[in-house]
Amino acid sequence: MSNVKNFFHEVIKSKIPTRYLRALLSRLVFTRFIYWIINYQYIKLFNKCTFTPKNKTLSILSELQNKGILISDLEEFGLGHLLPLLQNRFKNLSTRGTGSNTRSTEFNNVIDLNGDLSNELLSEILCNKDINFIVHNYFQQIARLGYKEEVISYPSYSKRSNARLWHRDAADIKILKLFIYLSDVSLESGPFEYICNTHYLGTHSNLNSIKSVGISKLNKGELRLEGLVESRSELNSQIVTAVGKAGTIIFCDTSGIHRGGHCLNSPRELISFAYYSNSAYLSLPAFVVSDKSFFKSKMMKAVLGL
Ligand SMILES: O=C(O)CCC(=O)C(=O)O
Ligand SMILES: [Fe+2]
């Protein structure tokens, strides 16, 4: 199976000159059939899972499926006690620049569990049963954690660029990101924004999608999407602006149209976990875990690609 996957990834990587063509091709080759073949073993694994979630978890999943976004908080998942610890961890992370006003404090696929309590914090989120129920049911297969990112966005009065402009994420048909705010986020601190129903299962799923996948340059595709959102009432009336306190957790299918991080006063601190199917086109390495025995279940091993 991995040969089929590698073959398509090689084609996508090497033969196609621009990210637009690459995105177009990925949408053509990842037809349902190829998607199903590559992900078959993860669909089977998903079908074997038996976990009865809380009623609230079921309603969160159904709203996510309907709208493409659902806003909740760590308390809802019994993880409220992690907030001060996560905030503390965030303060102590080493920093690394990724853009003029956004600094990514950590962007790697390493979870070190050898006595590093702070990483066990992340594992507590990763292994949370109700969160996993939502993630894998959304995909209808065991999804893979593509990356974890911890980001601080600094105030800026300059023009919006990159992820601060309306865009869709590429790489897969469905994507599910969990964004956890570690600081209070108001309208002035760059809240995450989403246009409901633009996700894979939504009514506006195909709208301008191929032209809008590249987010690294201010290009025509992106500007077209900006104009589109501004001019179409069925889009701009569907915008959800996720203002919220520290501890807010957002589940969102970012194959739908979204933006965020354009803060004007206080910085915004955020952790994100990005989930994809196993057929996703991702250039990031799989997770490296120092203590594999920590993740005992077959499901968690699949999630981390161990
Ligand atoms: O920083 C934000 O709110 C948006 C981030 C984003 O576009 C993404 O993670 O795909
Ligand atoms: Fe994005």
C-alpha closest to that of 194 among 184, 204, 224? 204
The answer, yes or no, to whether any atom of ligand 1 lies below 6 A from the CB of 272, is: yes
How many angstroms separate the CA atoms of 41 and 51, rounded?
A: 19
Find out whether the beta carbon of 260 lies less than 6 Å from any atom of ligand 1: yes
DSSP assigned state of 293: G
Token pair for 236 = 């701009």
One-letter amino acid at 244 equals: G
Tell me the C-alpha distance between 107 and 126, whole Å: 16
Residues of the chain with pLDDT below 70 are 1-32, 94-108, 208-223
Predicted local distance difference test score (pLDDT) of residue 241: 97
Pick from 102, 177, 255 the residue to mutate for probing ligand 1's pocket: most ligand atoms within 8 Å of its CB: 177
CA 229 distance to own-chain centroid: 21
Give Dmax (Cα) for the chain: 53
What digits encode the pLDDT tens for the residues 44-79?
Answer: 999 999 999 999 999 999 999 999 999 999 999 999
What is the spatial distance between Cα 195 and Cα 60, in angstroms, rounded to a whole number?
A: 18
Tell me the C-alpha distance between 288 and 109, whole Å: 6
b/e string for 66-79 if b means 16 or more Cβ within 10 A? ebbbbbbbbebbeb
Nearest to 164, CA basis, from 107, 247, 100, 73:
100
Question: How do the residues of the chain divide into helix, strand and coil, expressed in percent and rounded to 5?
Answer: 40, 20, 40
Domains of the chain listed by start with CATH number: 2-304 (2.60.120.620)
Q: State the Cα–Cα distance between residues 174 and 145, nearest whole angstrom.
A: 13
Q: Which of 167, 213, 254 best tests ligand 1's pocket when mutated (most atoms within 8 Å of CB)?
A: 254
Question: What is the number of the ligand closest to the CA of 193?
Answer: 1
Among 239, 271, 232, CA closest to 258: 239
Instruction: Using the mean position of ligand 1's atoms as its centre, give its distance from the Cα of residue 206 in Å.
Output: 20
221 lines ligand 1 (CB under 6 A): no
In 136-266, at which residue ranges do the beta strands (DSSP E only) sit?
Answer: 144-153, 176-181, 192-195, 239-242, 248-252, 258-259
Is residue 279 lining ligand 1, measured as CB closer than 6 Å?
no
Question: What's the CA-to-centroid distance between 157 and ligand 2, angstroms?
Answer: 20
Atom of ligand 1 nearest to the CA of 260: 3
Please tell me the distance between residue 295's alpha carbon and the centre of ligand 2 in angstroms: 29
Cβ neighbours for 136, distance < 8 A, ≥ 6 positions apart: 46, 49, 142, 143, 299
Ligand 1 centroid to residue 114 C-alpha, Å? 30
| DSSP 8-state assignment for residue 189 | B
Residue 273 Cβ < 6 Å to ligand 1: no
**Which residue out of 150, 215, 258 has the highest number of ligand 1 atoms within 8 Å of its CB and is therefore the one to mutate?**
258
Q: Whose CA is closest to 287, among 3, 10, 295, 132?
A: 295
Using most ligand atoms within 8 A of CB, pick from 187, 192, 193, 269 the residue to mutate for ligand 1: 192
- CA dist 241 and 192 (Å) reads 6
What is the model's pLDDT at position 16?
43
Give yes or no for a contact between 250 and 70, defined as CB atoms under 8 angstroms apart. yes
Ligand 1 centroid, distance to 249 Cα (angstroms): 13
What residue has token string 């799989």?
A: 286
Residue pair 256/199 in contact by the 8 Å Cβ criterion: yes
Beta carbon of 191 within 6 Å of any ligand 1 atom: no
Of residues 172, 166, 120, the one with CA closest to residue 144: 172
Cα-to-centroid distance, 168 and ligand 1 (Å): 10
**Ligand 1 in contact with 72 (CB < 6 A)?**
no
